[in-house]
Structure formats: C-alpha cells, structure tokens
Structure 1
Amino acid sequence: MLQSSANLERARTTLREVFGFESFRMVQEQVVGRVLGGQSTLAVMPTGAGKSLTYQLPAVMLEGTCVVISPLIALMHDQLRSARANGIRAATLTSADADWRETQDAFRAGALDLLYVAPERASQPQFRDFLSAAPLALFAVDEAHCVSEWGHDFRPDYRQLRPLMDAFGDVPRLALTATADLRTRGDILGQLGIPDDGLVISGFDRPNIRYTIRPRDNLSRQLERLVDEQPGPGIVYAGTRKKVEDLATSLARSTGRPVLPYHAGLPAEQRAANQAEFVASEDMVMVATIAFGMGIDKPDVRFVAHAGVPKSIEAYYQETGRAGRDGDPAEAVMLWSAGDFATARMRIGELDEARQMGERQRLDGLAALVEAATCRRAILLRHFGETPSESCGNCDNCLNPPQVLEVTELAQKLLSACYRTGQSFGFGHLQKVLTGASDARVIERGHDRLSVYGIVEGEEAALLQPVSRALQARGCLVPNEHGGLALGGEARALLKGEAGLSITKPPARSERRQRRSRNEAANPVGDPLFDALRALRRDLAAEAGVPPYVIFHDSVLREMAARRPASRSELGEIGGVGAKKLEAYGAAFLKVVAEN
C-alpha cells in the first residue's frame, strides 16, 4: 500500500478525472483513505452524501475487484448504469441477468472493477469458491443496517456474510448505511467483523429537505395541493394496496400528472415497468407501499409524502431520505391521523411479547415527533445521537412556530367520558356526549344523564378532535376489539392530575396555491438555455436507454447554463463532468450552448 498522503493525492486526481468533482464531500475523503489503507470501516452517511463513491473510487484505483453486496436487484442495476456512465468496469450477477456467463468470465480475467451481488448469493459456499478465482480489492456491504435485528429492514442473509469475508481475511470491508442508531451501529460492527475504531459518522442531517407534519383532514385534497406545488418527481407512501390504487387514480385525475401505483399485489413485470418509467421520468408521481424505494437511487425526487404514519422514526428518516439526493431543495410531508396510531398499537399487540416493548418505544418516539411544537429536524437528529441546534429554519414548526395550548382539563373530560360510557364507544359518540347533543343513541343509552353530558362547549368543543388525536397518538386512548376507545398508557395519571397534556393549535387550512409550471422547480430563473440543455439530456438518455440523471444532474445543467462553456476544457471544469462523460456528450452540449 502507498502511504496515506500519496493515496489521497491519487484519490483526488481520480475523483477529478473519473467523476468530475474537484473535492470530496463530508467524510468521503476519510472513508476513501481508510479503504485505500486497507482498513475495515463502517460509514454512517446521510442519503445523498455520496456513499457509493466511497467504494467506486477505490475500485478504480485498487488491483482486483470490489464485491458490492446490495439488497435489491433494482438498486444494483441503477448503480450499475451510473458506474458505467463514468467509465467504470462494472457488472451485476443476479437472477435477472442473462449475461451471467460473460460476467463470470470477466471477473476471472480481472476485467471488472465492481461486481454487484445480492446477500442471498454472496452467502452461498459456491460463491466463495468463485471469488477465489481472481484478486479481490474490497468487500462493500451496502444498506448495512439490514444485518442488524435492531434495524428496521432486517435481512437474515446479511447475517451470513461474515464467513465469506473471513475467508478472505486480507481484503478490507466497508459497510455503508444512512440509518443506524447507537444500538444498530454496534450490532453491524460485531456482525461484520469490523473493529470499533472503524466507525466513521458524518451526521444524519439533510438540510435541503423541508419537513412538514400535518393532521390528515382531506387526504386527496392535501396531496393534490402538494403535487401541484411540486412539479418534479415525487413518491407518495400509503399503507395498503387499495389505498395505493385509489390515490393513484384520484391524483392522476385531479392533477393531470403522470401517476403510477406500486405494491406487492401487482404482477412482477408491471412493478418493474412502473419503476422503470418512474426512474426515467422528470415529473412522475409514484404512489406506493413501502415495498418501493430502497431499490431507487433516483437523485431528483422533489418530494416524499406519507399518507399515514410510517413504522418508526428510522423508517421515516430512510423513506424521506429518498427526496433530494441531488442536494436541491425537497419536501417531506407526513399526513397522519389518530387511527394510524390505533392501528399500529393493535398490530403491536399481535406480536411476540419479546418484541412488543421495543415496538411500543418506536411508536412512542414517532408520536412525540408528530405532536411536537419544536423543531422537527432537531428531534430526528437527537434520535440518532446528535446534538443539533434548537431551530433548523427549514421545517414547518421553525418556519411557522405553532401556538401551544394547555389542554389537560379538556383531556380529563374526554377520558372521563370514555370511562363513564363503559370504554366501548368511538370518538364521535364521546363528542356528542360531551357537547350535549340531542342524539337518539346517546339518549337511548342513558348517556344524557351522565355527569359529563354537555360539559364541553364553545372553543373547547372545537379542540376535542385534536385532543383525542393527541391522546390516541400517545396511547392514552386505545382501540378495543369492537372499535371503541378504552383507557390506556398514562390515562389514569392524566385523570388524577399527575400528568398534563399540551397540543399545538391546529393550523388553519391554507388557501390553494397557484399551480406552477412543471419546470419551475428545476429552472427557477427561467433560463431558456437550461431548458434546451434539459431537452438534449432527455434525448440522449432515451437514445442510451438510461434515466436522464445518469447523463447529468440538474445542478450540472444549471452550472452549464450559468457559465456557458465554449470549449471542452471549460466544460470539463464543471463539477460532475468527468472524462468519460466529456468524451461521450461534450460536443453535443457545447453545440446547444453555442446555439442559445
């Protein structure tokens, strides 16, 4: 091995020539330096921080092949396109590849820089024998949180990777993830045989993402507004297959945008076609279950919306992290209801007892996030062990600080009504009792004679629903087997005055904003040269059979439009224009610049 300083000097040269970047980002240089020095490493880097470069660059420099273990075929093929576009000798060895014999021959001949495989293949003894036929440079384990039982995407086959890597003890290991709390990080290190001092953390902040969390009132209308306001590609996550289908149909009809569904109930070929169409599009909305996303490395996703609560803060962080990977502004919007938490708590009750406590803690953490009146980003970052500032300036609570209301007494009234009616009725019935409604069912049950009948009026009555929502999110009101509400969690402490409740004042429904042109987000200054460059990129991508972002990101085109390069050397100075892309596309882009 060369000395570290010489390694890094060569790495910077390779970064410029192959990838077209003048400098490393965040902890990329530290991770690359460790890999080139033969040191095994766990790198925790936020989505969009350039994790793939930390193994692609050493793979170009080192003798032998870098074996990349990745969880999904779609993700491998996406990264394969990007690697080849930069002139890297890369291949995948998956069940979907017809050229597997050619790939094996290329590996044995030492003609591959990168070989992508799934953990199911990598853990097989015959694959270990296959790898013995040629020199290896590195093992790179992508989405490494899948190795941990504490992680939210546990994959048992990841647990079988250690014997493979131990068989090649002199080959360094690089594990990469964007989502791993303290417990998960320790598990990854132990499971993959990486020393404790091999941990490199760059932080979890995604400052370009704006976080917004709102109660769900009219889901279709709320999503329609978001789609109108964000003309770029987006993902909407829904909890069920039926909800996916319904939302995809309604959004396509109401917005005029291309919208497709994605869920496990669709035929495999249709899922693959829908995913390919989304990856290639510059304005499509994909409505999907959480089965969609990990295999997508699409950098220009402008928004991710949750039509309900995700499984945990870790899942929320990872799913929202699919927005804005190119570093441009993006939005993450969660629209939640009390019913989401009620359903989640019922599902937790069906789990093995050993798992229930951990899952309840995850759900309680999510409840604290949606109820918060303080900075959303700070809550997320503290969850992952960071000490952020109190305000980020780019979440709903920082941009429009909510009014906090002390509602302990109203919560006691609602909990008391639940208890005195026998813990068998839903919120609608309790609301009628508390507000003194002349309702036949209330009178028939004798609930008009209870002490809680008619004790809520005026402004308090308008707060009953948000108070109920908060109590259900916290688990103080929980569903029973008949769909009614019962006391749970800290309900009794609240009733006795041993605990309190505050909520944020529900936001007024905002006026619908004017629909923007679909290109406005990408081209905020309306430069016709940018539009012309984007049109050329679209044509070149179609001709090459790759998504437009594989040619160049929007940020590269904006810099081209701003600098107006007149020669190959000037074009090569723009970040993201490496030698291979300059050779392949330089003349075409220079011609468009000259003509506009």
Structure 2
Amino acid sequence: MSVAEVSELNLALRKYFGYDQFRGDQESIINSILNKKNTFVIMPTGGGKSMCYQLPALISEGTAIIVSPLIALMKNQVDAIRNVSEDDSVAHVLNSSLSKTETKKVKEDIKSGKTKLLYVAPESLTKQANIDFFTSVEISFFAIDEAHCISEWGHDFRPEYRRLREIFQAISDVPIIALTATATPKVQQDIQKNLNMLDADVFKASFNRDNLYYEVRPKKNVEKEIIKYIRKRSGKSGIIYCLSRKKVEQLSEVLRVNGINALGYHAGMDASTRAKHQDAFLMEEVDVIVATIAFGMGIDKPDVRFVIHHDIPKSLESYYQETGRAGRDGGVGECVAFYAYKDIEKLEKFLQGKPVAEQEIGRQLLFEIVSYAETSICRRKYLLHYFGEEYDDSKCSEMCDNCRNPKEKTEGKDEVVKLLNAVIELKEMQRAGHICSFLNGEETTEIKSYKHNQLPHFASGKDHDKVFWNAVIRQSLVEGLISKDIESYGVIKMTQRGHDFIEKPRSFTLVKEHDYSNQDEDDDIVTGGGGMKDAFDDVLYQALLDLRKQISREKEIPPFVIFQEASLKDMSFQYPVTKEELTNIQGVGQGKARRYGAPFLNLIKEYVATNEIERPQDMVVKSLVNKSGLKVQLIQNIDRKLPLEDISSSQGKSMEEIVDEIEMIVNSGTRVNINYYINEILDEDNQEEIYDYFSEAETDDLDEAYDEFDGDYTEEELRLMRIKFMSEMAN
C-alpha cells in the first residue's frame, strides 16, 4: 500500500478509536483484509483482536458479517462500536433474541448502507431466509471471532461452526478473517483446513503475558483459602471460575456472607439477571464475579487483578483464555488455580457416553491440564510450549509459583536415556501412561498382551515410581527431546533432538514434581473452630477457664452453661475482640454472645494488647450452615410439636443426627423447647432428678452422668434432658 493509504489508515484509527498508533501486527492484519486476502489471527486475550476486523469494516464498502458464539459477547461488542460512531445503526446484532420488528429494522439499515458490522450467531447464518437476504446486499468480508470453536481439538468446539465455509460460499466470495485467542499448532491447522484457507496470511502474536503471575494450589479448604485471598486484596476486581452452576451460587453466597461484594453468573440465570450482574461488575458496583465459563468472553474490563479457578478447567486452552482476562491494562494479574485429581476424575466421567473419538480428545486435553498442574518447571515455559512457543524461563522473573519457590533438582541424564530407549523400543507407538508402566515394570494387561514385558528395557526404571517417570516425560517434551502426536491421541514420538541426545548424552536437570495424590478437597466452611488444629493459646485458655469459673460462682450456674470448653479453645485460637467476631466462634450464637460475651471479650482484648498478639482473623470465615433451610425447618417442626422420629425420617436422617443438630442449635444460643417430646418418654420425677444433676455438675460430660445414675437412664434420655437444661439455663 502507498504511504498515503497507510496514513489514511492511521487517520481512521485516530478518528474512530482515538489511538495514534497500532499495536503489534494490527496494521499488517488490517492491510491483509483490505487487500482481499484470507487472514488468520492468533492473538492472546487483551492483544487487540477486535480492532483487526472492526477498523477495516468501518472503512470498507458494504457490511462485514462477524460470526460470534455468545449473545452477551455480541451485545458487548456492538455497544463498544456504537460508542465510537455517531449513528447506532453502524453495528447490529442478528440473532434469536430479536423480535420481528427489530429484525426488519436491522435488515433495512444494512440495505441502506448504514450498517458496517453485523454480529450473527452461526445458527442464524444457517437459516435460508437470512442466506437469501445476504446474497442481495454487499458484504465486505466475513470475520469469525473465537475461531477455535471450529476445531474438534479446540476447547469450546461447536459443531455448527464446521458448516461456516459452505454458508460463506453460498453468500459471497469475499475474504475471511478468522481470529482466536488460543490455538495450539494442531487447532490452527484444523481451522485453516476446515475453512479452506490454507493460503491465508497467518499472524501469530506471542502468547506470553509477562504481567500475569501463575500459581497452582492444592485444593484443601478451598473456600476458606479464597476468602483469605480476597480479603487481602480488598476492593480489587476479580473473577472466580467454577465448573457447575450450583457451585457458583453456593460460593457467591458464602462470599457475600463474609462481607465480600460478589455476584454469580451462569447460563441458568435469565438474560436480564446475567446482564445486570455483568454490568454491575463492569461498572465496579461489585468487586468479584463467581462464574461458569459462560462469563468473560470478550468482556473488556482492563483492571481485573485476579482470576481464581475454584475447579481446574477442561483444557489448557480454556485455562489460558480465562486467566487472560486478568491484567489487560498491563498491571499485574494473579492467576490462582486450585487443583485436586478428584476434579479430573469428575471431568473424565462427563466424557462417558460420548463418541470414542471425542472421549479420546477429551482425555488428551485433560492429560495436558494435569501435566500443567503437577509440573514443577516454570509454568510460563510449560504453557507457551503447549502453544508451540519456546521460552527462556530465566525471563519469568519469579512470576510463577515454581520459579518463586523452586523445587528440588537432580541430575537426570541417565533417566532421560532410559526413557528415550523405551520410546524407541516400543516403536514410538505408545502413550505416556503405557511408557511409565513399562519403565516401572508394571505388568498391565496391555503390556502382557503386547508381550512388552519380554523386551530388554522392560522394568529398566523400576527404582522410580510412575509419578517420577511422568515427570521425566513432561520435562523431555518441553525440552523437545520427544514429541506428542496429537493425531493419534498423544502417542510419544522421538525428535531429531532426542536421537542426538541418545548419541551424545549431556547433563539434564530434572525438577521434582508436585505430588497432589494425598490432597482431598475439604470444602466445608469453618465457623472459627475448624482451623484450630489444637494450636490454641494455652495461657489464654487457662485465663478464660478461670473467668468462666468465677462467673459460674457469681451466677450460681454450672461453668459449661456459660461457654463450653470447645468454645474457649476456639477463642484461644481466634482471639475475638468484638461481639461479631465472637459469634464466629464454635458454639457461640448471638444470644450467648450478648448474654455472656462482654467479660470474655474484655479479657481477650487486654491479653492481645499486652502480648502484642497478631490475630489470625483471616482464618475466620462465616458459615452458611446457620442460614440453612434445614435448620429453620427443624425448629419449625419442633414448634409444631412433631415427634423427633417423624422429623428425622422426613429429613432422611437418623435420630442421633437430629439430636446432634438440636444440640448444636442450643449450644450456639438459640432456645429450643422439646418438653413435649421429653414428657412422652420421662415422667416428672425422672426429669427433675436429671435436671438437678446438671444444675450442680462441674461438667456436662454424658459418661459421667451415665455413671452417676448407674445406667438408670439411656444416653439419649440424658442428652435430651441436657438440651432442655442448656436451653433454659444458658439461653
């Protein structure tokens, strides 16, 4: 193009978007489209992909058709374009959400030449009426946003995307621009082949986002960890991704209960609620969005400071795209994923019942995300290798947890040679799991049927376990000594570099992998005591015991009526200094905090100040248990004087579980009247005898009570009387 034309492009950039210069390859990409060439753009989230088709559309004759997968995404893009133009007709959406009148208006604007960008869903393009209409108007070019949806190997495959080429051909012979934020070499090839654009100008930007920090944490007490994490970043914007709608709703409520300004977002919500929640996040009326993957595609919020994955996603492409929503303004974005292998097993179950080829692809994608989570080498290096990019990990500058806290390293030259020999001996026809079993000497059914247990290198690595050999395979892949044949679902092949290594072995540093095998997800929110682990302050605990004894003498009630020992231990761990903090303590409700709290809080305050205690307040998170419908239902049923046996069967619980729950309610300070039930099983004299015992006892221990009455009363009868006593005396 001439200098005059280039300057016109810059003028258009200034006119419509207010920028003086293009970023990266944007100018070359736009020129490619203006020169009527098929164009393929692979550019990470936040790299300025949208500009690559928006600007040429605005300055070309006719209307550009942009295929986009989500209605929310289209709305977002149309609003953005209308903001840079004087006429709202410049951009429109054509999808199932429009009324007949709205659809008619869109078509009129296209005919009159006002509309430069038309966003359509692939389903709308397939309708014959729309195809007939598009053939009657001038089309400037076709753009396919989120083009990875075309590929079966892409993380968000949509079958309807596979038909786009034939539809384009039926409409008009104009250039195509395909754009994606995530494409492995395999996905890139698949897209080009399907769209019949192997001749396209390909522009691939670096996938390295050096302002993003990557970390994987074991999935233990995950909700508590997330609350601690967000509290330390108060007022910052963040997104939390969950795999299920149920988890989105539960987690967003837990966050709100704990004072975090959060809303949920998932496809099960009606469109107006989703739009309202999305706008609240964009307008900074809410700090955190808890969402399924339905949220975020094309959301242009530059200052997202953290992206948390409560559940590990289905593929590394998904992970990369979702984390890419952090730090678009160039500031640091923290990407934290919680990982437990249990989640991978759940995702594998979802693959059952799908066609075999789809299952194989799904498993291969899961294997990659497991490898990323468990690797101890630089996470950035691993991620970029996956997208076909080499990276010098010395440049990571501790922007991932593995570079910040390096794991133990050992010399692995001999082990790598063993691995490469095994790959060759197995004729480069096996996947990672089989090779690990072969080296480890495990006689699996597959190994025996292939008679691989009779080969010379079988069990040559039996001094190491399969976790170790998996690590060797991953690290050899990243170093390019072996490759993974995607076409055959992950079969390990030799590379020339690997053959050279066998010929002339050199030093090879192996990094010890993370081992998450003993991690169990524990998603229970604790009300203080859950995090105690017996690490309470014994000096404070003794002081609280003395105070309790003193108050019990003054009020002439047993000490356990005031606060139970478990509650005092929890206070000695949490150091509560306000009434609100006291209600987070195990077994302390609002009633009990009001009635007995003040002297205990005064003692703790003074103790904390005198001893300069750093309180672990970030450990205290409120539970949803106290708000549960079942608790309310239980109290209502007791108020209606239903027999406890009937209540237990209606809630699908044992009698013991129901008594446990009543006990918890009473111990936390709520009065519950079960006299109607006790009157049925114990006469007045028996009740009085047991009541008098608890009035004078030093402890509420049931074993001691049982011994005192020589077994005259059952444990259940004693427990019910203790509930009656505590309810009347303590609350």
- Using the TM superposition, give the Cα deviation of residue 495 of structure 1 relative to its aligned residue in structure 2, in angstroms: 9.2
Provide the secondary structure at the position in 1 that maps to 2:336: strand
Residues 281, 489 of structure 1: alpha-carbon distance in 2 compared, 3 angstrom cutoff: farther
Amino acid across the alignment from 2:406: P
Alpha-carbon distance between aligned partners in 2 of 1:112 and 1:277, rounded to the nearest angstrom: 29
Given candidates 363, 366, 374, the residue that maps to 2:366 is: 363
The residue correspondences of 1:54-133 to structure 2 (distance < 5 A) are 54-87=52-85, 89-98=90-99, 99-133=102-136
Cross-structure match for 2:164: 161
Q: Provide TM-score, normalisation by structure 2.
A: 0.55
Cross-structure match for 1:273: 276
- Contact kept? 1:303, 1:332, Cα under 8 Å: yes
Cross-structure match for 1:385: 388
Alpha-carbon distance between aligned partners in 1 of 2:142 and 2:172, rounded to the nearest angstrom: 11
Bigger RCO (CA 8 Å, 6+ sep):
1
- Contact kept? 1:211, 1:394, Cα under 8 Å: no
Deviation readout 1:293-320 (Å, 9 max, x if unpaired): 3253433322211012110111111111
- Using the TM superposition, give the Cα deviation of residue 268 of structure 1 relative to its aligned residue in structure 2, in angstroms: 4.1
The residue correspondences of 1:223-238 to structure 2 (distance < 5 A) are 223-230=226-233, 231-238=235-242
- Using the TM superposition, give the Cα deviation of residue 200 of structure 1 relative to its aligned residue in structure 2, in angstroms: 1.5
Cross-structure match for 1:246: 250
The residue correspondences of 1:167-246 to structure 2 (distance < 5 A) are 167-230=170-233, 231-246=235-250
Cross-structure match for 2:320: 317
| CA radius of gyration, larger in | 2
- Contact kept? 2:213, 2:334, Cα under 8 Å: yes
Given candidates 132, 136, 142, the residue that maps to 2:139 is: 136
Q: Provide TM-score, normalisation by structure 1.
A: 0.67
Alpha-carbon distance between aligned partners in 2 of 1:381 and 1:287, rounded to the nearest angstrom: 27
Alpha-carbon distance between aligned partners in 1 of 2:38 and 2:370, rounded to the nearest angstrom: 37
- Contact kept? 1:403, 1:505, Cα under 8 Å: no
Alpha-carbon distance between aligned partners in 2 of 1:4 and 1:364, rounded to the nearest angstrom: 50
- Using the TM superposition, give the Cα deviation of residue 132 of structure 1 relative to its aligned residue in structure 2, in angstroms: 2.7
Deviation readout 1:476-534 (Å, 9 max, x if unpaired): 9xxxxxxxxxx9999x969933656233489xx9x99999xxxxxxxxxxxxxxxxxxx
Residues 376, 9 of structure 1: alpha-carbon distance in 2 compared, 3 angstrom cutoff: same
Provide the secondary structure at the position in 2 that maps to 1:48: coil
Higher mean displacement: 277-286 or 57-66: 277-286
Cross-structure match for 1:531: none
Alpha-carbon distance between aligned partners in 2 of 1:498 and 1:351, rounded to the nearest angstrom: 36
Residues 325, 366 of structure 1: alpha-carbon distance in 2 compared, 3 angstrom cutoff: same
Higher mean displacement: 190-199 or 57-66: 190-199
The residue correspondences of 1:492-511 to structure 2 (distance < 5 A) are 496-497=462-463, 499=465, 501=468, 502-504=512-514
Alpha-carbon distance between aligned partners in 2 of 1:234 and 1:146, rounded to the nearest angstrom: 26
Cross-structure match for 1:299: 302
Amino acid across the alignment from 2:104: R
Residues 334, 110 of structure 1: alpha-carbon distance in 2 compared, 3 angstrom cutoff: same
Alpha-carbon distance between aligned partners in 2 of 1:8 and 1:168, rounded to the nearest angstrom: 30
Given candidates 394, 401, 420, the residue that maps to 1:397 is: 401
Alpha-carbon distance between aligned partners in 1 of 2:241 and 2:29, rounded to the nearest angstrom: 33
- Contact kept? 2:40, 2:178, Cα under 8 Å: yes
Cross-structure match for 1:445: none
Deviation readout 1:426-460 (Å, 9 max, x if unpaired): xxxxxxxxxxxxxxxxxxxxxxxxxxxxxxxxxxx
Residues 72, 25 of structure 1: alpha-carbon distance in 2 compared, 3 angstrom cutoff: same
Alpha-carbon distance between aligned partners in 1 of 2:362 and 2:615, rounded to the nearest angstrom: 38
Alpha-carbon distance between aligned partners in 1 of 2:106 and 2:155, rounded to the nearest angstrom: 33
Provide the secondary structure at the position in 2 that maps to 1:151: coil
Residues 345, 87 of structure 1: alpha-carbon distance in 2 compared, 3 angstrom cutoff: same
Higher fraction of helix? 2
Alpha-carbon distance between aligned partners in 2 of 1:138 and 1:314, rounded to the nearest angstrom: 27
Misfit runs of 4+, over 6 Å: 487-490, 492-495, 511-515
- Using the TM superposition, give the Cα deviation of residue 169 of structure 1 relative to its aligned residue in structure 2, in angstroms: 4.5
Q: Where do 5+ consecutive residues of structure 2 fail to align?
A: 413-432, 438-443, 448-457, 469-511, 517-530, 532-613, 619-731
Cross-structure match for 2:41: 43
Alpha-carbon distance between aligned partners in 2 of 1:250 and 1:4, rounded to the nearest angstrom: 60
Residues 142, 514 of structure 1: alpha-carbon distance in 2 compared, 3 angstrom cutoff: farther
- Using the TM superposition, give the Cα deviation of residue 237 of structure 1 relative to its aligned residue in structure 2, in angstroms: 1.1
- Using the TM superposition, give the Cα deviation of residue 49 of structure 1 relative to its aligned residue in structure 2, in angstroms: 0.7
Cross-structure match for 2:575: none
Amino acid across the alignment from 2:223: S
Alpha-carbon distance between aligned partners in 2 of 1:285 and 1:74, rounded to the nearest angstrom: 18
Amino acid across the alignment from 1:35: I
Cross-structure match for 1:459: none
Residues 161, 513 of structure 1: alpha-carbon distance in 2 compared, 3 angstrom cutoff: farther
Amino acid across the alignment from 2:254: S
Cross-structure match for 1:264: 267
Residues 221, 5 of structure 1: alpha-carbon distance in 2 compared, 3 angstrom cutoff: same
Residues 90, 351 of structure 1: alpha-carbon distance in 2 compared, 3 angstrom cutoff: closer
Alpha-carbon distance between aligned partners in 1 of 2:213 and 2:384, rounded to the nearest angstrom: 14
Matched, 1:344 2:344: no
Given candidates 10, 33, 41, the residue that maps to 1:12 is: 10
- Contact kept? 1:4, 1:37, Cα under 8 Å: no
Alpha-carbon distance between aligned partners in 1 of 2:309 and 2:38, rounded to the nearest angstrom: 37
- Using the TM superposition, give the Cα deviation of residue 185 of structure 1 relative to its aligned residue in structure 2, in angstroms: 0.9
- Contact kept? 1:59, 1:66, Cα under 8 Å: yes
Deviation readout 1:41-64 (Å, 9 max, x if unpaired): 111111101111011111121111
Cross-structure match for 1:543: none
- Using the TM superposition, give the Cα deviation of residue 33 of structure 1 relative to its aligned residue in structure 2, in angstroms: 1.0
Alpha-carbon distance between aligned partners in 2 of 1:307 and 1:379, rounded to the nearest angstrom: 21
- Contact kept? 2:266, 2:294, Cα under 8 Å: yes
- Using the TM superposition, give the Cα deviation of residue 180 of structure 1 relative to its aligned residue in structure 2, in angstroms: 1.2
Higher mean displacement: 360-369 or 302-311: 360-369
Cross-structure match for 1:329: 332
